[in-house]
């Protein structure tokens, strides 16, 4: 068996090298898949073996800015569906990164009925055609069958459908492993997947704040084999403290940088005996509760302070080294979620750091109404319209503790956020403060800015 395994690794290493030597655009390369498998080593740990060599995934969750992934120290991306699969695979191959290809298994929460045999078969048949089309692409790393199909579901027959899809892939494609992805870690899902999905090669989990607990829970919950963390990042919008009117309080980019880098080192890399790697979320940007909550890029495509930290730990830096070396960092914006008077001028404190090496910075703010288009499971949301946007003075290098920013409170009562941004060396640091606007009292006309630090912050919820 050992001799056979070595022989197979040598064969697929040669095939992989042939694909690299002859380029990515030719049909010849397309016909030569790079063999990847999940194997258990002599010491009991697990690893991907790709083209005959161990392959640890430093992954980015998303299909934007693929060229940035390798530049910042990553080696793989993941998709949620097979939309534009060929183009994504080609671009990934051109930049030297692999792809975990997602098959978007329909969700019960979107109206799909897993008791409807015809619809389930149609889904399977459609996936079968897609797998046949792209299974030999040299950038393909693995298949993920579904993403969080367990979110808000009740019909556990979905796991039989996942198994049928996984078994189909195993029959058609012997070169790439197969997984499924759940929303967090749940002992019941572990039981169901182990019982109903024997064709899976490993288990995958999307987790945010709960990543801190996962290494101590996963084996206790019944999973003893290999796994991946397929989404991870800041504390989720459901995992944070809230203002008195319900608005979740988002971490600043500086706080997120610390979370990402620490969680990567302590909860992912440290668990590499059984954890095959991870995909940081989100490589790109999206509106989800706010425009900044999960994106490792800004809306304009610029990398953030948080992405800087991810890049540094991918390259072997410690969390403290990763955070300390950032060109800019936003530590805090405001000192709570205050109740403010309509139309008043308010001065809020913020804490930021600009590295000594930085020659120039940009500094601006924007005010948005609080989003009311809140969905679950990452479903598409609409961004609130901007009410104010203003560029401010640049900051000099060094620590800017409790600087202040003055803005005019919107005249319409309701919930808002002010977003503060600082850019240097192409990286953007940010933070936001939720606030609630109350109507102005008769004849109330503040003559000078109110210092937020002096406002009472314990007023009753509106």
List, for residues 23-58, the tens digit of each pLDDT value.
Answer: 333 343 446 899 999 999 999 999 999 999 999 999
- 451: confidence class by pLDDT, cuts 50, 70, 90: low
What's the pLDDT at 376? 85
What's the pLDDT at 335? 81
- 401: confidence class by pLDDT, cuts 50, 70, 90: low
What's the average model confidence in pLDDT over 139-150? 98
pTM (2 decimals)? 0.89
What's the pLDDT at 216? 96
CATH class of 328-454: mainly beta
- 445: confidence class by pLDDT, cuts 50, 70, 90: low
- 2: confidence class by pLDDT, cuts 50, 70, 90: very low
Cβ proximity of 457 and 360 under 8 Å: no
What 3 state SS string does the chain have? CHHHHHHHHHHHHHHHHHHHHCCCCCHHHHCCCCCEEEEECCCCCEEEEECCEEECEEEEECCCCHHHHHHCCCCEEECCCCCCHHHHHHHHHHCCCEEEEEECCCCHHHCCCCCCHHHHHHHHHHHHHHHHHHCCCCCEEEEEEEECCCCCCCCCCHHHHHHHHHHHHHHHCCCCCEEEEEECCCHHHHHHHHHHCCCCCEEEEECCHHHHCHHHHCCCCCCCCCEEEEEECCCCCCCCCECCCCCECCCCHHHHHHHHHHHHHHHHHHHCCCEEEEEEECCCCCCECECCCCCCECCCCCEEHHHHHHHHHHCCCCHHHHHHCCCEEEEEECCCCCEEECCCEEEEEEEEEECCCCCCCEEEEEEEECCCCCCCCCCCCCCCCCCEEEEECCCCCEEEEEEEEEEECCCCCEEEEEEEEEEECCEEEEEEEEEEEECCCCCCCCCCCEEHHHCCCCCCCC
- 18: confidence class by pLDDT, cuts 50, 70, 90: very low
What's the average model confidence in pLDDT over 233-261? 97
CATH class of 56-324: alpha beta
What's the pLDDT at 453? 52
- 64: confidence class by pLDDT, cuts 50, 70, 90: very high
Show me where the domains of the chain are located. 56-324, 328-454
Q: In this predicted model, what pLDDT tens digit does every residue of 294-348 receive, in sequence order?
A: 999 999 999 999 999 999 999 999 999 999 999 999 999 998 899 999 999 999 9
- 5: confidence class by pLDDT, cuts 50, 70, 90: very low
282 cis-preceded (ω within 30 degrees of 0): yes
| Portion of the chain with pLDDT greater than 90, in percent | 83
What's the average model confidence in pLDDT over 415-421? 97
What's the pLDDT at 400? 73
């Amino acid at each position: 068996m050992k001799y056979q395994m070595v022989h197979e690794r040598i064969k697929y290493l040669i095939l992989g090298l042939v694909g690299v030597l002859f380029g990515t655009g030719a049909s010849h390369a397309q016909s030569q898949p790079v063999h990847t498998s999940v194997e258990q080593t002599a010491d009991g740990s697990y690893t991907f073996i790709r083209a005959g060599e161990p392959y640890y995934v430093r992954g980015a969750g998303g299909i934007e800015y693929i060229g940035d992934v390798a530049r910042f120290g990553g080696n793989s991306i993941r998709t949620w569906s097979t939309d534009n699969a060929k183009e994504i695979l080609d671009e990934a191959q051109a930049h030297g990164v692999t792809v975990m290809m997602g098959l978007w298994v329909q969700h019960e929460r979107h109206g799909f009925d897993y008791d409807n045999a015809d619809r389930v078969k149609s889904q399977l048949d459609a996936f079968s055609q897609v797998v046949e089309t792209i299974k030999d692409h040299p950038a393909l790393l693995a298949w993920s069958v579904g993403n969080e199909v367990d979110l808000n579901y009740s019909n556990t027959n979905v796991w039989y459908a996942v198994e049928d899809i996984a078994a189909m892939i195993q029959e058609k494609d012997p070169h790439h492993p197969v997984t499924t992805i759940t929303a967090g870690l749940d002992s019941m899902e572990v039981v169901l997947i182990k019982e109903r999905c024997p064709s899976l090669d490993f288990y995958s989990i999307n987790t945010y704040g709960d990543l801190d607990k996962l290494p101590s829970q996963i084996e206790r919950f019944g999973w003893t084999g290999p796994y991946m963390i397929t989404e991870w990042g800041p504390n989720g919008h459901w995992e944070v403290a809230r203002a008195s009117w319900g608005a979740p309080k988002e971490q600043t980019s500086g706080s997120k940088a610390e979370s990402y880098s620490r969680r990567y080192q302590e909860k992912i890399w440290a668990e590499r005996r059984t954890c095959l790697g991870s995909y940081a979320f989100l490589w790109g940007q999206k509106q989800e509760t706010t425009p900044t909550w999960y994106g490792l890029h800004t809306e304009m495509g610029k990398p953030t302070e948080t992405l800087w930290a991810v890049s540094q730990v991918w390259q072997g830096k410690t969390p403290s080294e990763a955070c300390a070396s950032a060109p800019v960092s936003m530590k805090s914006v405001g000192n709570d979620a205050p109740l403010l008077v309509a139309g008043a001028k308010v001065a809020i404190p913020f804490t930021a750091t600009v590295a000594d090496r930085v020659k120039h910075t940009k500094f601006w703010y924007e005010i948005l109404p609080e989003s009311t288009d809140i969905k679950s499971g990452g479903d598409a949301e609409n961004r609130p319209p901007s009410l104010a946007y203003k560029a401010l003075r640049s900051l000099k290098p060094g620590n800017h503790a409790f600087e202040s920013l003055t803005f005019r409170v919107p005249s319409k009562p309701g919930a808002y956020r002010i977003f503060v941004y600082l850019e240097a060396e192409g990286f953007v640091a940010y933070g936001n403060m939720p606030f609630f606007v109350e109507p102005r009292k008769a004849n109330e006309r503040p003559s000078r800015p109110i210092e937020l630090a002096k406002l009472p912050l314990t007023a009753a919820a509106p």
